[in-house]
Chains A and B, each alone.
Chain A
Amino acid sequence: MVTPRSRLIAAALILLGALVPARAAAQFLLVPMDDEQRNHLKAYGLTYNAIKDGLRAEWFLNYRGGSFLLPDAADVRRRAGLDGVTVEPMSAARLGAIRAEIAGGNMDAIPLEKAPRVAIYTPPNAPPWDDAVTLALRYAGIEYATVFDEEVVRGDLAKYDWLHLHHEDFTGQFSKFHIAYRGAPWFIQQVQSAQTLAQQLGYPNPPALKKAVAERMRQYVDNGGFLFAMCGATETLELAMAGFDVDIAGNFADGTPVDGNADAKMRWVRSFAFANAHLEQSPFVNAQSDIDGHQVNVPGRRQPLGTFTLFSFSAKFDPVETILVQNHRTVIPDFYGVTTSFMRRVLKPGVSVLAEEEGAPWTKYLHGNYGKGSWTYLGGHDPEDPQHGIGNPPTDLSLHPNSPGYRLILNNVLFPAAKKKPLKT
């Protein structure tokens, strides 16, 4: 909220700025992130690459949709021009006025210091176009490395600040696609590759390997890493971590049926977000558990899509949550995924709900801390393709440069760059 006092300060600073002799060039570039911005997604790439090049940046939380402040450098202007990113030259006096406005309202300025080292967990040779995060990073021009089971088991995760998981099934059951696709060549090849890789890495079957991978990811977060997961990876990672020593995979995946007492044996203390979920044990029902509210692949249970609303947080007291919901829209159309949403009743205490569908029993976007690190889950597959199916053409983000859904992904990528400020308690 803008108070009379902050207005006075702002006016004084503007007057002061008018008295200072004008300088030849602006000293800063403001990257507005409200409706004035022509390309929101590339604005994140501009900021990321400025930090990577050693420039100091700031994130003005809740100021004009979560704007960025960058130094007025030739390279920054050039890149903004090439990418069609709107920038506004900013004098020191004008900046002073903005800072006063930020100080007086539910806003904050967060320094962005170090470009995070980004890794995406994806199978080798996977096309980059079936994963919303990869699409977003490539479009924004943010560099990333890819890792898969071999690298994770080897301990390579320690090299990265940020790890993304998409629709991998960490229960090792191939998203139960055998129900619909068991004769499809791509599915047969996927199963064979997974079995071969498991044996090469010393595991008896894919479920055993995936559980080991999930355990490494749990340790990665525990040791300070940041994990961002979407779609089916959210739910199955939780199941794999909690079911570390329980047979939760069906006969078709590991040769033995699911432990009939699996629900009771799950150790939810090991998971990040959920507790007391019920496993879907039937091999003929395309769902993993009752965590997902929408159950898109189970005809009798499938729920229609609505819209989800981003919560508003206190920028000065909850900067992390505020960063993750920076957007120029607060209500966003929902989109399906293998896991679309997260039922409220299975959330652990302490989990921050960042977005939910009003009146529905599910949530959409979650965040929490675990050990020294933190994690974020976003349900659904592709924010701009609400009913994306296998074989559908990939999303062309040049047609969606202002996508509010994709902004949520990119908020997460820049989040580890933010310097933590001591809370004003």
Chain B
Amino acid sequence: MRSRSARRLGLALSLLLVSLARAGAQQVTGAEQRGLLLEQDEKFREAAAAYRAALATAPGSVMALLGLERVYAQLGWPDSLVPVLERAIAAAPREPALRAAQIRTLRSLGLTDRVHQAFERWTRDMPGDAGPYREYARLLLQDGQLRTADSVLQRARTRLGTGRGLELEQAQLRAAMGEWALSATSWYEALERAPYLEQAAILSLVATPLEMRPAVRRDLLAAGRNVAARRVLAALELHWGSPQDAWRMLRDLPRDTATFSAWSEFARRAEEAEAWTVVRAALEALLRAQPTPDLALRAARAALHGEDPEAALGLVGLAERGLDSAEAAVVTLPMRLEALAALGRAAEAQRTLDAYAAHATPELQRRQRAIVAWAWVRAGDVARARALLGNDATAEASEVTGWLSLYSGDLAGARRTLRVRGRATPELVTALALLARTKADTSAATGNAFLTLARGDTLRAAVAFEEAAVSLDDARTLLIAVAARLHAATRDDARAMLLWSELATRDAEAPEAPEANLEWARALRRAGKHADAVQRLEHLILTYPNSALVPQARRELDLARGAIPRAS
């Protein structure tokens, strides 16, 4: 079986042949072509013989020489290339590819002095060329020889009278030396000549330390700097965790093709970073200039992720323009239903579902019914949700049905159907833990507590879980812990602390006791009661030494004692 790397090599070589043939850059001789094919078949010795034959007739052939370089590397014979290179350079002294190959080869053999000699010879033979300086500086940078690389680039500026053609190396050198602002300038200059270096510039400058970032920003935004610099800076700000600043770099640019391209690229990067607010802003800006259903749909998704379902609905409306009902049922309907479900507008979701029923496949309809069932849950109508799903036994429906059983207080039913399918949300983990803990088959109070939580009313859910704890004794401590977590989430530390303290002191044997101690201590620390927090954490570590929470407790202890920085 041929390896993946061999297949890649084959593809690359084929492309090389095609491109050479198309460009007519160099006539491919029979020997060279034979070498390429043998190389593709991983017959490296035979390929080497073919390339050598090609070089015997044309000693300066770049293609044959580079082929020989590749196969000698495979065979572990790089030293055999040295005399071949000498002959090739003698035959074609002004061919930069041969000179670069010579420097590469000598460096790979660790012949530092000869690398330097080869570089000097190249500069003498081609005095006005930036090539030797560029290649040598690159190698020095790769080897971390910054000082020597700096000298080479300075010498290039002196000898050539310009730094043109060396901006990339200059930028990399400055970054490696920690001269971030100068590096930013060099990267900008490099981008002017080679816009494809944008990603390299971002990767290089992203390591700029905090205190040097203002200088990099200033430099990239200096008067006259255009879209290229702003694109880089926007990407950097995203990496540095400032998505709003990132978007500010681009939003006020003049509306032209370059700007639209920048916005589109920015939206893609921001989607990767899950910075949904600015994703939406960028896509909405693009939409105003170049409205398309796809952009509107992406913007709607961003709005939904950004917890703005109302805006998502509006954007879905934009996406629907120009679509017929059959297309809308597939393309935009799921998003519309999700937005309506998030808003709890169940009746409207139901009407929408019914209106498109004729255009959706049975499979699509099942998925859409599950979304609308959640809308009914959000609206508090479990019966309608159940009725909508009917006897559907598919995975999507079963998941919702499991939750509906739980919401109705049917713990046995929930135990049968509720499973982890895909991502386990905190709510699902809690529900499964409860169902495993209690032996009860019904508990209306517990169902009500989970339903209240599903409807997004955290405050009332916390109280409901406390009430459920009274009725479900074998899961009492678990339910109290959930209530305490919800109180803490609504910033009701006083009530949370009371529940944690009860759990920690009265139910020391309960599985929730270590968590109760830890959360109680955290609440105490937030309240500035460091000594009490320390006491609680020490109790936790010494009483439950095998608890998985002990490492967290030790860190909290360090924080409470002031042994590590608070900001961390």
Q: Give chain A's interface residues, CB within 8 Å of chain B.
A: 78, 81-84, 129, 138-139, 141, 296, 299-304, 387, 389-399
> Is B389 close to A, CB under 8 A?
no
Given A82-B557, A300-B150, A398-B558, A139 and B563 contact (CB-CB distance below 8 Å): yes
> Is B545 close to A, CB under 8 A?
yes
| Inter-chain contacts of A303 with B (CB < 8 A) | 146-147
| Inter-chain contacts of A141 with B (CB < 8 A) | 561, 563
Q: Contact partner of A138 among B550, B557, B563, CB < 8 A?
A: B563
Residue pair A84, B209 in contact (C-beta under 8 Å) = no
Residue pair B211, A129 in contact (C-beta under 8 Å) = no
Given A129-B565, A300-B147, A393-B568, A398 and B554 contact (CB-CB distance below 8 Å): yes
Closest 8 A/B residue pairs (Cβ): A391-B211, A396-B568, A389-B209, A394-B565, A304-B144, A129-B565, A398-B564, A139-B563
State the majority secondary structure of interface residues on A. Answer: loop
Pick 21 A–B contacts, CB within 8 A, sort by A.
A81-B541, A81-B545, A82-B538, A82-B541, A83-B554, A84-B554, A138-B563, A138-B564, A141-B563, A299-B179, A300-B150, A302-B178, A304-B145, A387-B209, A389-B210, A390-B211, A392-B210, A392-B211, A394-B567, A396-B564, A398-B564
A141 to B150, CA, bound (A): 46
| Inter-chain contacts of A78 with B (CB < 8 A) | 542
Shortest C-beta distance, A296 to chain B (Å), equals 8
Q: In the complex, what residue of chain B is closest to A301 when comparing beta carbons?
A: B147
Shortest C-beta distance, B187 to chain A (Å), equals 17
Shortest C-beta distance, B4 to chain A (Å), equals 34
> Is B11 close to A, CB under 8 A?
no
> Is B555 close to A, CB under 8 A?
yes
> Is B161 close to A, CB under 8 A?
no
A83 to B550, CA, bound (A): 10
> Is B429 close to A, CB under 8 A?
no
| Inter-chain contacts of B551 with A (CB < 8 A) | 84
> Is B426 close to A, CB under 8 A?
no
Q: Apart from A396-B565, A397-B564, what are 13 other A-B pairs with CB-CB below 8 Å?
A: A81-B545, A82-B557, A84-B550, A129-B565, A138-B563, A139-B564, A141-B561, A296-B178, A389-B211, A393-B210, A394-B565, A394-B568, A398-B563
| Inter-chain contacts of A387 with B (CB < 8 A) | 178, 209
A310 to B353, CA, bound (A): 73
> Is B224 close to A, CB under 8 A?
no
> Is B18 close to A, CB under 8 A?
no
Shortest C-beta distance, A367 to chain B (Å), equals 28
Q: In the complex, what residue of chain A is closest to B150 when comparing beta carbons?
A: A300
| Inter-chain contacts of A81 with B (CB < 8 A) | 541-542, 545
Q: In the complex, what residue of chain B is closest to A39 when comparing beta carbons?
A: B554
Q: Contact partner of B147 among A296, A302, A395, A399, CB < 8 A?
A: A302
| Inter-chain contacts of B564 with A (CB < 8 A) | 138-139, 396-398
A129 to B145, CA, bound (A): 33
Q: In the complex, what residue of chain A is closest to B561 when comparing beta carbons?
A: A141
Q: In the complex, what residue of chain A is closest to B154 when comparing beta carbons?
A: A300
Best-buried of B550, B561, B563 by chain A (most CB within 10 Å): B563
> Is B444 close to A, CB under 8 A?
no
> Is B194 close to A, CB under 8 A?
no
Shortest C-beta distance, B86 to chain A (Å), equals 31
> Is B212 close to A, CB under 8 A?
yes
Best-buried of A82, A296, A399 by chain B (most CB within 10 Å): A82
> Is B562 close to A, CB under 8 A?
yes
Residue pair A392, B563 in contact (C-beta under 8 Å) = no
A82 to B563, CA, bound (A): 13
A398 to B557, CA, bound (A): 11
| Inter-chain contacts of A398 with B (CB < 8 A) | 554-555, 558, 563-564, 568
A389 to B563, CA, bound (A): 22
A395 to B146, CA, bound (A): 27
A303 to B149, CA, bound (A): 12
Q: In the complex, what residue of chain B is closest to A137 when comparing beta carbons?
A: B563
> Is B177 close to A, CB under 8 A?
yes
Q: Mark B78-95, 1 if CB is under 8 A from A, else 0.
A: 000000000000000000
164-208 of chain B: CB within 8 A of chain A: 176-179
| Inter-chain contacts of B555 with A (CB < 8 A) | 398
A398 to B562, CA, bound (A): 12
Shortest C-beta distance, A82 to chain B (Å), equals 5
A397 to B565, CA, bound (A): 9
